[in-house]
Amino acid sequence: RFIACPQLARTVQRCLQSGTGPGPQPVLLEFAPGPGVLTRTLLNAGVKVVALESNSVFLPNLQSLENSLDGQLKVIYGDFFRLDPLVSGTLKPPAMCSDKLFETMGLAAVPWMADVPVKVFGILPQKKERNMLWRLLFALYECNSIYRYGRVELNLFISEKEYKVLTAKPGEPRAYQALTVLWQLGCEIQLLHMEPWSSFVTNLKNGGLWIPKSVFLPNDHLCLVRLTPQQNLFTGGLKPTNGTTFIFMVKQCLAKPKSRLTDRLHSWSLDDAGKLLRQLEIPRKAQARDLYPEDYKHLFEALQNSNLFIETWFHDEALESIRNIN
């Protein structure tokens, strides 16, 4: 899928350049640009672009455009959805390591508290959408993959139903999930634009556009969403070294959103669950879906003082969760 409408390309270009202050602008990494409708619009606006394309059909035209410019465009053969796969041995292109990608882009890592070093733009394919959102979350909380290089900003077209999940409020049935808590805590989430599905070239099925069905949440648009990692994410007890454990804790709590938090804590063999909740000013009868993202972070930090998160079974479950996502 890619942007085929020049008018939409201009809208996206304006969105991507919004909110940028004076001074040097970060490089924009566009993945899966396809025929390059947006790429040319960005170049005409003076944006420096790195195009990461995995389809060899589109590479010749993109490379021809690269050769006609004086360093404003760099074309790389690679697949954003196959960065840093959990495999041994040499990677077969278009799979690649993020280290190789950033080396080719000519970019070095910057401290987490520094400004955004790179902006990423692309459209998440529907069949991989949920999986990619989880993979990016694990990379974010571990400061791994693209996040080894700093607070990389994502500008992604995602389905309206997933946008509703990412921005849901506590207590909302079906929408408020572990994905909600982790993205809201990890990133500033900003809606830049909503566009009907018909503006995109996508898979054809039975002669029409293939649009994922959604029973409980609206899904009439693709939403351009900006996800900027929080500078203060790794404060207190949350660190890249235990980020995976925190993700697993949130997933476990919200696996049954209506369950009482005390029941979940007791299932982890925590005897003084009531006392802990009182210290955190969380009602004893609170359900998992009632807690705000910040509450989950405070709960995790409080549990660091116990021996709960050093037990082997917990780490084994967390590692298995990572393998399943990858």
* pLDDT confidence of residue 204: 44
- In the chain, what percentage of residues exceed pLDDT 90? 69
Bond prior to 26 in cis (omega within 30° of 0)? no
Domains 2-229 and 240-324 agree in fold: no
CATH fold for domain 240-324: Helicase, Ruva Protein; domain 3 (1.10.8)
Binding site for S-adenosyl-L-methionine, residues?
Answer: 3, 53, 79
Binned at pLDDT 50, 70 and 90, residue 313 comes out as low
Tokens of 124: 């998440």
CA 130/CA 142 separation, integer angstroms = 19
For the record, the structure tokens of 183 come out as 């993205």
Q: How far apart are CA 43 and CA 41, in angstroms?
A: 5
What does the domain layout of the chain look like in residue ranges? 2-229, 240-324
- CA pair distance 175, 177, nearest whole angstrom: 6
**Confidence band, pLDDT 50/70/90 cuts, at residue 310:** low
Output the six-digit token pair for 67.
Answer: 């050769």
Binding-site residues, in ranges, read 3, 53, 79
Alpha helices (H) in the chain, listed in sequence order: 6-17, 37-44, 59-67, 98-105, 129-142, 160-166, 178-186, 243-253, 261-267, 273-279, 293-303, 312-325
| Tens-digit pLDDT profile for residues 202-223 | 644 444 445 666 667 778 889 9
What separation, in Å, do the N-terminal and C-terminal C-alpha atoms of the chain show?
Answer: 22
Identify which has the larger pLDDT, 275 or 187: 187
Calculate the average pLDDT of the chain: 89
Task: Tell me what pLDDT residue 309 has.
Answer: 65
DSSP 199-220: GEE--EETTEE-----SSS--S
What's the CATH superfamily of 2-229? Vaccinia Virus protein VP39 (3.40.50.150)
- Enter the pTM of the model: 0.92
Contact between 162 and 133 under an 8 Å Cβ cutoff? The reply is: yes
- Identify the burial level of 259 via C-beta atoms within 10 angstroms of its C-beta, where 0-12 means exposed, 13-18 middle and 19 or more buried: middle
